[in-house]
Structure 1
């Protein structure tokens, strides 16, 4: 139990916490001190084009697995030096799966390709597309915080997205997010803390009910999965430790739509025995007391990407617009993929007048069935080229 400063504890709730969060040591122990590495990249081979990849998530790792690293000078820049299987984060939070089972160090993944690459464990602060440079900060205990410029021939932006607060007051200060592996331990400790406080003898029943009210904002896959995992964790473990408060626990899912998982077909439903959806009239503001809140609505754009979008006149978009080859519009040397980007495809409605005029061969002002079928065939043919 060295993760608790070497002190043993007789509190069984901490034992659960230690067992589940022990997997976090799996990636923390594999971390390498990159303080010197961040200050200097390896000497550049002028014969090879330098490719800088931002991010070690799904998109970034997919790109690194498929690129021929031996043909390029590949540099990976990311604040985390591991890949996480994020769909299982709710399960890790409640101990169903260990954290070490869903993380893998980047070096282990790339090493299988038997090639050299360079990794910089830092967050990018600025992208300068005109000079083909990016800037990241290096926090050095001796020299202090300094900015370091990295030049590139090709830039692959795969930074993903961040939690979207919708500028809701108090979210950042009082809510947990469930997007990174680091969030897992915080949420689990908070859940156990709520039970420990509710079990205190000097609290009234109303205060106990408030402490044991867990609210999940967002009825998407993450929110619903976490609600189910939390329910199982409470029923199978915590009520055995705190039997006096087992009937006071409530789990509430708050969703803006009329049903949860509204991005899927309505056939994908959740048992009404576990989650109750209450439809409220528009304009009514309700106040809910809670012990813990997990904020898991849709994602938003990261600040560094937002600043970059404003520089390249894409500030009104929600994500970077790319062509069908994932190149950022107007910049052939910059690529974007994953949650931070979207493919900008020409919409049929934008050219509907031209399409109609070309299809209306008899100038009747209407399309026959045969003419309409020819239009559809032509659209399908163009989209396949």
Structure 2
């Protein structure tokens, strides 16, 4: 995507909200737009601009914000500002062909249909190229045409920026050309065994199978014959699956049970005494590394990483060692703990109107009002204390009865 140009004077553009203060600023900005639009000397054209809210990014954050903004405007602010409610419009810009691309297509289709019914203007294939104080310019991917859209407030939800303290640290350790810190599978900053990083400030650099293919083959080839029997390969299977999780993903995609079946499939035989040479071994694993993907910068990932590191630190002097990198295969080193492995527990996408879409393990898809209550339950269960849970649940109750808070506090 092209890097958009921002003018310094745009006061109504907000990055993805990360703090309570950010959310409060967004709410104040929405209310300010309604206040200005309600002034008697405001022209009709200016009212349309002020009450045009643009959300950039069709991922879970952008979709949820657009849905919540629609509910806030239509259910609460329209009652307080009835004279200008007909001027309100919400536009969601997405550079790709669909919103919620990381979800099942059934969820994507439902979300797009619901936004259309709700009157949210969904513009896919639109890349933001420039933002000024009153207009946002987009380039249509299909035609190359550039359009300018007047707005009252823009919320940017296509990604997050790196904190200054992290950027300074990255420059000090020679990672200044990266977007986030690079760590190994034990969440250690690359090149610094005693510094750990987790969450959306870092990404795991998973080692590729093909980088160590010769070492793996030589480890299994004990008699150094240059060929490898599949049945002799059993000894290193556990180490390889431990070290290279992309193999397991590849096996699931191919609907194979283990590496042995992958090698037999490549050889075209199911006999355990079939011999493989290094070239056939390479061909069998050639597509494995294409399954490597960076973990999403979500709270679910950060929470599991925090639990993993806490467990590692608490048992640092008690644990056995496990293969570190290709070192065990090469016979030169080990590590105390298993590498970090992320377990995806599902994801939710609130769509407004007390409806939510959920994609859970096992390809289970749920959409609608009942899923909203499931989301409430999961959200409350993940809060850190019973005090916080009670406060949040009471806030939900007040919202159901009295509506959302429309004050500027």
TM-score by length of 2: 0.47
Q: Which has the higher helix share?
A: 2
Give the TM-score of the pair, scaled to structure 1.
0.49
